Amino acid sequence: MTLEFAKRIARIPVYPVAAGYDLGEDVAMLASNESAFEPLSEVVQAASEAAARANRYPDPSYAPLRRALSDRYGVPAGRIALGNGSCDLLLAAAEALLEPGAEVVYAWPAFSVYPQLAAATGARAIQVPLDERARHDLEAIGREVTVATRLVLICNPNNPTSTALALEEIEELLHAIPRHVCVILDEAYCEFSLTLGDPQASVALLRRHPNLALLRTFSKVYGLAGLRVGYALCGSEELRIATEQVRQPFHLNVAAQAAAVEALRHQQEVERRVTATVAAREQLVAGLQGLGLWVAESDANFVWVALGAGAEEREVLDGLRERGVLVRAGASLGSEGHLRITVGTARENARCLAALSELVSDRTRA
């Protein structure tokens, strides 16, 4: 049987999911930028208590989570959009803002879901190459904003390249973008950034730029990737209302809501985990550099490594996989000849470095 689908289905790129879930327990999972830390026991308990009441639909206003986020960031609850992961919010925002004839501008390579936004809505994607240090070229992005632009995406720190720009530079671009154009600053990894220094810092931008939304997630620093909670702190209520219009009701399940509320109560532990991750990142970077590899300046919980001209990305990936180490292929993220490696536990990082040292030779060094 051949089903007849909407034309957009053929346009939508397949998301490059991580492979290796079939490899069993003893694998260093460094391919999906997850947290190396499991959720706190209090968070697991809150989720399971909520699950015990799962015969009821979730609170459709998500009031406790909105309130907790509002208290933490000083943004009114009406300007906080919630999603089943921040990917869900990205897709909702695209559905609300984009259509044939409209344009979405973003750097490339950046988060691999971005190309889906134009493909799903029939809008035109304008991809702006990163600079030579694998960072956003904000001037070039500004030059691509036209009367057709509805959405500009800035990924800071950028996935997959891990680089971040200072907020002052981003604000210069914001000043140059017309107020009717929505700007989403995707800050999935902002807590790990020494450049940004503080996840509260960008919140001040919302007061000056009502067309801005800060996209955040509980999947990374809070270690809740499996429960799927994302949020956007918005400069005005409009985007929150529009994303709710295009979403199904009850898109955030009870366990996820309860876990997120509880996770926000443990900021000291979050800070401790950030400190440990940044220290491990520095060790991993030093180890990679010790192998003669070029590593982008990382401000996230992952690193971006260039393999030299003689290296076969596929061979290195296969070699790592054979040694029980899963990392992400640059080819699947828009830049062949690179690896994106998540900062894991000390043991996982050491295992990755040991495996790489067997696989990269003088021939493969950048």
Ligand X SMILES: Cc1ncc(COP(=O)(O)O)c(C=O)c1O
Single out the residue of 97, 126, 155, 182 in contact with ligand X (rule: CB under 6 A): 155
**Which residues pair with residue 81 across a beta bridge?**
232
- Cα–Cα distance between 76 and 71 in angstroms, integer? 8
Give CA angle at 1 (10, 16), nearest 5°.
35
260 or 360, CB closer to ligand X?
A: 260
- Which position among 111, 192, 222, 304 is part of the footprint of ligand X (CB under 6 A)? 111
Other beta carbons within 10 Å of 308 = 16
Which x/- pattern over 272-291 shows residues binding ligand X (rule: CB under 6 A)?
A: --------------------
Q: How far is the CB of 105 from ligand X (least distance, A)?
A: 16
Under the criterion CB under 6 A, does residue 188 sit at the interface with ligand X?
Answer: yes
Which listed residue (87, 239, 316, 339) binds ligand X by CB under 6 A?
A: 87
- Candidates 242, 189, 180; CA nearest to 212 is 180
CA distance 54 to 58: 8
CB of 165 to ligand X, least distance (A): 14
Q: Are 324 and 269 in contact (CB under 8 A)?
A: no
Nearest approach in angstroms of CB 147 to ligand X is 28
CA 132 to chain centre: 22
Q: Looking only at residues 208 through 247 of this chain, which bind ligand X when binding is defined by CB under 6 A?
A: 217, 219, 225, 230
Of 86, 202, 211, 349, the one binding ligand X (CB under 6 A) is: 86
- The position carrying tokens 């992005």 is 141
191 contributes a contact to ligand X by CB under 6 A: no
User: Which run of H or of E encompasses 350?
Assistant: helix 346-359
The rounded distance, in Å, linking the Cα atoms of 317 and 328 is 8
Give the separation between CA 178 and CA 161, rounded to whole angstroms.
Answer: 28
Q: Is 159 in the site for ligand X (CB under 6 A)?
A: yes
String marking each residue 21-60 x if it binds ligand X according to CB under 6 A: ------------x---------------------------
Task: Please give the residue ranges that form the binding site for ligand X (CB under 6 A).
Answer: 33, 85-87, 111, 155, 159, 186, 188, 217, 219, 225, 230
